[in-house]
Amino acid sequence: MLTSFSVTGGTSSEDLAKKIAKKLKSKFIKCELRVFPDGESKITLAGIPKGKVIVVQSIYPPVDSNLIRALSLVSQARKNSSQVYVVIPYLGYARQDRAFLPGEIITMDLVAKMFKAAGASKIIVVDIHSMIALDHLQIPATNISAVGELVKYFKKLKLKDPLVVSPDKGGIERAKHFAKNFGTDFIHLEKHRDRKTGEVTIKSTNYHEVNGRDVVLVDDMISTGGSIMKAAQYLKKQKCGKVYACCTHALLIGDAEKKLKKAGVTKIISTNSIPCKTNTVDLSPIIVKAIV
């Protein structure tokens, strides 16, 4: 018997949406997407959403197109339901949560307003870039952590005296949480990013703990791969063992994968918040828990 949910997913998250629908024993409504020659998205839903509607859509590249598609789905769902839950496993624009340089626009604030205006009643995100970004959302919002699921995967690997490493101070809590679940210790590196050029440097921290140990570099996302590449190069110089790159959101822009391989990364492990070949960890169980 069907529950009172119906689930739809933008084409950027269709597989994950289907998994969520299956676990909720709910109807999955397919979304057909046509992109006009000028770039506009034309969406057609293959059914009428009923009951509580779950819209699943990650906002990864093309970010602006996927954002408008998510908003369109929410707006359509709202016409048929007063309860529209929006699952945005990867929330693009969350890094624009504050102004770092004078004149910078906090676009996350606008994104939050748009979801409210479109009719979202609740938003569920996974490992959002920062709690400041979450605070911009003006409706009930839950951030769930993929760390537990990622650790389950790492527990199956036979790592040598593993050490969890955050490439920067901002990731300390994540690394701490990961290390605690994994039953090991953690350190963080000192990353500096040039706000104008985006170039990343890792400051020497004189850590000796890494010698001979397999390392799990943990971050919320890998975008260009610059942060993990520099961190891996630094750790290799310190004579660590194997380096694993672990993230929730693998954007892997351009030649990021190649760069990481060249820097000595043995394997990249990510979740299915963004469909790509490094997806090893399925988020549907923890998303369903957050919905019901």
Residues designated catalytic = 191
Neighbours of 142 (CB within 10 A): 17
Tokens describing residue 19:
């998994």
97 binds ligand R5P (CB under 6 A): no
**Amino acid letter, residue 223:** S
Q: Which is nearer to ligand R5P, 68 or 253 (CB)?
A: 253
CB of 220 to ligand R5P, least distance (A): 5
- Least Å distance, CB 268 to ligand R5P, is 11
Nearer to ligand R5P, 5 or 244 (CB): 244
Comparison of 14 and 168: residue with beta carbon closer to ligand R5P = 168
List 77, 200, 232, 235, residue binding ligand R5P (CB under 6 A):
200
CB of 174 to ligand R5P, least distance (A): 9
User: Which lies closer to ligand R5P via its Cβ, residue 227 or residue 284?
Assistant: 227
Residues 152-191 touching ligand R5P, rule: CB under 6 A, are 167, 170
**Rounded Cα–Cα distance for residues 249 and 128 (Å):** 10
Q: Which is nearer to ligand R5P, 119 or 171 (CB)?
A: 171
Q: Are strands 185-188 and 190-193 parallel, antiparallel or unpaired?
A: unpaired
Q: How far is the CB of 172 from ligand R5P (least distance, A)?
A: 11
Candidates 247, 291, 223; CA nearest to 87 is 291
Rounded CA-CA distance 54/204 in Å is 46
Q: Are strands 243-250 and 215-222 parallel, antiparallel or unpaired?
A: parallel
- Per DSSP bridges, beta strands 84-88 and 122-126 are parallel
Size of interface with ligand R5P, in residues (CB under 6 A): 12
- Scanning 26-34, 56-64, 78-86, 213-221 for contacts with ligand R5P by CB under 6 A, the matching segment is 213-221
* Residue 49, token pair as written in the block: 């959403």
Min dist. Cβ of residue 221 to ligand R5P (A) = 5
- Residue 209 per-residue DSSP state: T
Burial 170-197 (b: 16+ CB within 10 A, else e): ebeebbbbbbebbebebbbbebeeeeee
Residue numbers 215-244 binding ligand R5P by CB under 6 A: 219-227
**Which residue lies nearer to ligand R5P by CB, 146 or 221?**
221
Q: How far is the CB of 68 from ligand R5P (least distance, A)?
A: 23
- The residues, any chain, with a CB within 8 Å of residue 276's CB and separated by 6 or more, are 250, 252, 270
> Can you tell me which residue has the tokens 């300390």?
172
Tokens of 138: 């003006």
Beta strands in 205-259 (DSSP E): 215-222, 243-250
Which residues are at the interface with ligand R5P (CB under 6 A)? 167, 170, 200, 219-227
